[in-house]
Chains A and B, each alone.
Chain A
Amino acid sequence: MRKDQNLGEYLRSQGVSRRGFLKFCSATASLMALPPSAVAQVAEALAAARRPSVIWLSFQECTGCTESLTRSHSPTVESLIFDAISLDYHHTLQAAAGHGAEAAREAAQEENKGEYILVVDGSIPVDNPAYSTIAGISNLDMLKDSAKDCFAIVSVGTCAAFGGLPGAAPNPTGAVAVSDIITDKPIINVSGCPPIPVVITGVLAHFLTFGTIPELDALGRPTAFFGQNIHDRCYRRPFYERGEFAETFDDEGARKGWCLYKLGCKGPITYNACATVKWNQGMGFPIQAGHGCIACSEPRFWDKGGFYDALSTGDWGTREALLGAAGAGAALGVASAIRARSRKKKAMAEEEA
């Protein structure tokens, strides 16, 4: 796609018919969780869309987010979204490395000043910048440099959005989220460990289509995908209401597909689109596979107690501590009784005198 072409012209030049384009728009609207009535609007916007430049930075991460995204790269419909953006830098996917690649990044930043989208996966170590570097540039410096002239930042994955696994206690590298460092740019958090691939493409499609920031929740996540919690949209919810729970992973209840609350499912406090969008081309999601939700799209999910501890339980401490408190209580009780008795004795003695 040439820079001076809009998407409509580009697709026609590729031999894509209007029918094909309408199909693309239907799928894109569905991807963005827009109602089907919005397809016409999407078609109009997409036909006139210009190709945005995307710079993708990977910091302290496991590449799971990129893996997830490339899984969504099923040919034709979604690849059109990727054809339609100009992915100018992604050091995991690109062949080039080193200073040449960095020069390309800087050139793309310069050329698209104020217009490019910065995608970040991974957290940023701030205790010691040397913990993670690319071409000798620390993550912190690279983020600041690339964020300076961007239009908006998309933090892909829980690490970039909230610190994630590197930020889990005791956080040895001093890992922080993008939003802890950059405060003067719009940031869209696409959390998840990894995020649902079509949610990543859905957010990019939103930029491509409308060129705006989607509506965000209090944690900076697009409400189209993170507006409802897993529990509310879970097909196992009726079992919760009836009080039918799997007690172990292989009991009768588990086989009948009963609610996984007792096995530690964090669905009620987790906001994500897993229950509707689902994974692997809509095949299923963790709860459907028989495992509770681990709240991977929520901040500090690694430190929220055991994945298999029921949500209603808490860290109540130790039995010893409770016994200690009881012992202290007993001592106080004895002390106050002795005091009361000595006061009484004194009063009686005074009366007698």
Chain B
Amino acid sequence: MENMTLLDFARGPGLQWALWIFCLGVVWRIVGAMYLLGNKDLSKARRTNYIRSGLRAILTRSTPAEAFEEKIRFQHISGYAWHLALFVSVLFFAPHILFFESILGFSWPHLPNTIILFSGAVATALLIALLIRRATHPVQRLISTADDYISIAVVLLPLITGLAAFAHIGLRYETMLALHLLSVELMLIWYPFSKLMHAFMTFPARYQTGTFFGHRGIKA
């Protein structure tokens, strides 16, 4: 359309395409992964209560093994704090809830802006700290791929543009808002094809590992 502003694009076609790609990609990945479950384990079952083993793994793998605890404490705590701060900012900011409501059809209570601003700032700072650690820590550096860095970048962008739009820093509000939406759309597009899929995969994967361990009689 002629004369379409950046914001118009971000609120219209940009959003539509991003959501389509996101839905397509996420379902593609999940369905594909589910088919892998069809691979039969030919070994003799050592234990029969797989469900218990599966659920146990979800719990045990949510905290670091005792032997490593001290070495990865920072990562452990800041990882949880970062996710918590992110969820507060994303899910309890009034304008965000209106966005979700327009798609989902229902809403929930919001928090005052000061809390959102605080959690947004905490999330941004923690993610930057974790990124620096990843880039400098010898072991983490070794096991990091381009996927890790790109995924962090596409999550960091909405945080930074969101805070800037909120605080009226930098460009004019409508431009900042457009950049915020576009950065979210970039994240949605990158999401299914990257490690960001962990949001959908983590718990089922742990469960699956647990049942596998159960079958083999591994205690872990």
Contacts and interface: CB of A to CB of B under 8 A. Distances in A.
Q: Is the interface of B mostly helix, strand, loop or mixed?
A: helix
Given A242-B113, A312-B99, A316-B103, A268 B173 contact: yes
A314 interface: yes
A181 interface: no
B32 A337 contact: yes
B28 A309 contact: no
Contacts of B114: 241
Interface string B95-119: 1101101110000001111100000
B181 interface: yes
Contact of A314 (B10, B35, B111, B174): B10
B148 interface: no
Interface string A304-342: 110001111111110001100111111011101110110
Interface in A225-269: 229, 231-232, 240-243, 245, 261-262, 268-269
Interface residues of A, number: 44
A278 B111 CA distance: 32
Given A314-B11, A337-B35, A269 B173 contact: yes
Contacts of B35: 333-334, 337-338, 340-341
Contacts of B96: 312
A330 B16 contact: no
Given A241-B113, A326-B26, 17 more contacts: A242-B112, A242-B113, A268-B173, A269-B7, A310-B102, A313-B11, A313-B99, A313-B101, A314-B102, A316-B102, A321-B16, A325-B24, A329-B27, A332-B31, A332-B32, A337-B36, A338-B35
Given A232-B168, A317-B19, A243 B94 contact: yes
Interface of A: 163, 169, 229, 231-232, 240-243, 245, 261-262, 268-269, 299-300, 303-305, 309-317, 321-322, 325-330, 332-334, 336-338, 340-341
B138 interface: no
Question: What is the size category of the interface that chain B forms with chain A?
Answer: 35 or more
A243 B113 contact: yes
Given A243-B111, A268-B177, A313-B99, A334 B24 contact: no
